[in-house]
Each structure stands twice: as structure tokens, then as C-alpha cells.
Structure 1
Amino acid sequence: MSHVEIVAVGPQDVAVLAAIGRRTFIETFESGNDPEDFADYLEKAFAEAQLLGEIGAVGSHFFFARVDGEVAGYLKLNMDEAQTEKVAGRTLEIERIYVDGAFQGAGVGKALFDFALGIARDEGIEAIWLGVWEDNPKAIRFYERQGFEPFGVHSFTIGKDVQRDIMMRLELERPSAPH
């Protein structure tokens, strides 16, 4: 496993965020989508103005994973009202966790996940949840290995195509009260 450094993303990083976001989304989802719908989605979702709004949103946090100084992936976490769905309990949403294809298998995804887990524990979060495309078995298996379990579904729309995400949840161990 390579040494992975996790750093916060700020407004000054928006161009790099747009580039890695677009590149990893294409690598992951392009083959399963209508080209016109997909291009339109990319244009909107990864526009710098859109991403600046997300970076500045209360409760949303972006992080880069760097390997030897190169951005290898990124993570977006949502807390409180920034979460995309109302989920029971004090929860943290992993809205995006993507790794550049050149760094797949190098421990970058696990490092980003462990980082999110650390934040959740520091914040006293009860559970982490996320949505994963039902047609992405590699990601589903990764989350199952981390202990996530399905608890529902929600829609994710790319153009005219309404897709289904499996919502998965990982319950975190609560520290026991002193005796």
C-alpha cells in the first residue's frame, strides 16, 4: 500500500476537484449511461460554480487523497442538514468516494474510508451511510467488506435515466459508559 495523505479541499482547489471528479465519474459510470445524458450531467455536476457552492455549503466537506503529491482520489462527506436524505439517528453521509483508475488497488479508497470513519467517531456519529449504484458490484462488495448493510433505495438521475442506488449503513460502536 502506498502512503496516502488526506487533505481538506478549499475553494482554491476547485479546478483540481472538477478535474478529478469528472475523470473518476467517467471511469466509473460512462459505459453504463446514454452518452448525451452523461455529457449533460458531467457539464452540470462538475462545473466549477456548482462545486464552489458545494465546497461552501454548511455541513459538506471535501478531501483529496494524495499519493506522492498527486491527487489520487477524493471524498465528500455530509453532516446534519447537508445530507441528501433524512436518515434516522446521528449520521454521516459519504456522498462521494472516488479513486482515480491509476491508483485503484493501492489502498486509496480504504484510506479515504478510514478517514471518514475517524471523523465519524470523533463527532460521536451513530452510523455512516451512503448510496451506491445497484449496477456497481465492485463498490457494493467493498462496502459490504467494511460492514455496511443495505437499508433502502433512492433514485439518482442522469439526464432522462432514473437509476437506483442501494442505500447502505454501517452502525458504529458506541463507547461504553464507565462503570
Structure 2
Amino acid sequence: MDHIQITKATIADLETVQMIGRQTFFETFAESNTEEDMNNYLQENFSEEKVAAELSNTGSQFFIAWDDAIPVGYLKVNTGNTQTELQDNTSLEIERIYVKSSHHGKKVGQILYDKALETAQLQNKVFMWLGVWEENPRAIRFYEKNGFVAFDKHIFKTGKDEQTDIMMKKVLQ
């Protein structure tokens, strides 16, 4: 995928991040959730206010994957107290690698993951971690292939529905 370009997102990319987030979350999880839970989650988590706050947070970085002029995915990483759980200064959290279904199997996820790894290495992080839904075997295999191992579980809420995420970690140093 030589034509996939990665750019660091800014507040000017708010609508692009919103659109990718809503589309990919819906594509991935709509079949496993009620319409009400899905709509509530999308409204709350991809609202203009929430995405603007995330893009403006200095502890988070977003990177957009472009196929020519079309945005096809994004990466969100967190450090320090911006991390959703561990908040360990020696770690980088991969909070999201979202890729449109039209680009599954085209290495976009790998390119975004490589950007997360590069970011962690530039910041001299000791390890990376993430949470992945226990019923998403494709994503679990992807992270295992990239050297992640399960170390814990946590609850992820989609609307009223509580789902279990497997927490995975990769030691870098």
C-alpha cells in the first residue's frame, strides 16, 4: 500500500476524525449491539465537543491514514494521565486503530500500528498496551501477530451493554 499516507491530525481534522470514527465503529460493532445503544454511543463518543477535546489534549495524538485524498482510518494513542486505565508514564496506550471495512486486508491497520510503535519508540516508552473486545478475533490475532500478550480484562460500555475487553501489552525495552 505505497499510496497510503499517514498525517498527524489537528483540530482542523475534526470532521474527518468524527466521520471515520462513526463509520468504522458502526461497521465493526452494529451487529453486536442494539440500535439504541449504538446510536447513544456514537452520539456521545463522536460528538463535535468530545472529538475536539480529544484532538486538543496534549496527551493524545491522532494520525489519519489517507488513500490518495480519501481518509480510510485513524490511530489514537495516549500517554501519561490521558491513558484510559494504566496511566503509567513509561507506557503508550493504543486507544484506537480504526480502519474502514473497504480497506480491511490492505495493510492500513499495520501501517497505523507501525506509526504507534514509532511514536512509542521516539518517546522511549517501555511498553505499549491496549484493550480489544474479546469477541473480535480478527483484532486479537492482529495484535498477537505484532507481539502483544493478554495481561488483564476490563469492561467497555456501549450504551447500557457491558462488554469485556482483553487488555494486551507489548514490552519494547
- TM-score w.r.t. structure 1 length? 0.93
CA-CA distance at 1:164 after TM superposition: 0.7
The 4+ residue runs of structure 1 with deviation greater than 4 A are: none
**1:50 corresponds to which residue?**
50
**1:161 corresponds to which residue?**
161
One-letter identity of the residue aligned with 2:74: Y
CA-CA distance at 1:3 after TM superposition: 2.5
Counterparts of 1:25-104 in structure 2, within 5 Å, are 25-86=25-86, 90-104=90-104
Q: How far apart, in 1, do the equivalents of 2:26 and 2:2 lie? A: 24
CA-CA distance at 1:121 after TM superposition: 0.7
Identity %: 45
- TM-score w.r.t. structure 2 length? 0.96
Structure whose alpha-carbon radius of gyration is higher = 1
Aligned in 2, Cα 1:2/1:100: closer, same or farther, shift over 3 Å? farther
1:15 aligns with 2:12: no
One-letter identity of the residue aligned with 1:163: Q
One-letter identity of the residue aligned with 1:21: G
Aligned in 2, Cα 1:2/1:30: closer, same or farther, shift over 3 Å? farther
One-letter identity of the residue aligned with 1:64: I
Say which is worse superposed, 80-89 or 125-134, in terms of deviation: 80-89
Say which is worse superposed, 2-11 or 95-104, in terms of deviation: 2-11
Q: How far apart, in 2, do the equivalents of 1:38 and 1:89 lie? A: 33
Residues 92-148 of structure 1, C-alpha deviation per residue, up to 9 Å, x if partnerless? 000000111111111100000001101111110111100000010100010000010
How many pairs does the alignment contain?
173
Q: How far apart, in 2, do the equivalents of 1:75 and 1:85 lie? A: 18
Residues 52-93 of structure 1, C-alpha deviation per residue, up to 9 Å, x if partnerless? 011111201111011112111000000111000125561000
Instruction: Give the unaligned 5+ runs of structure 2.
Output: none
Instruction: Give the unaligned 5+ runs of structure 1.
Output: 175-179
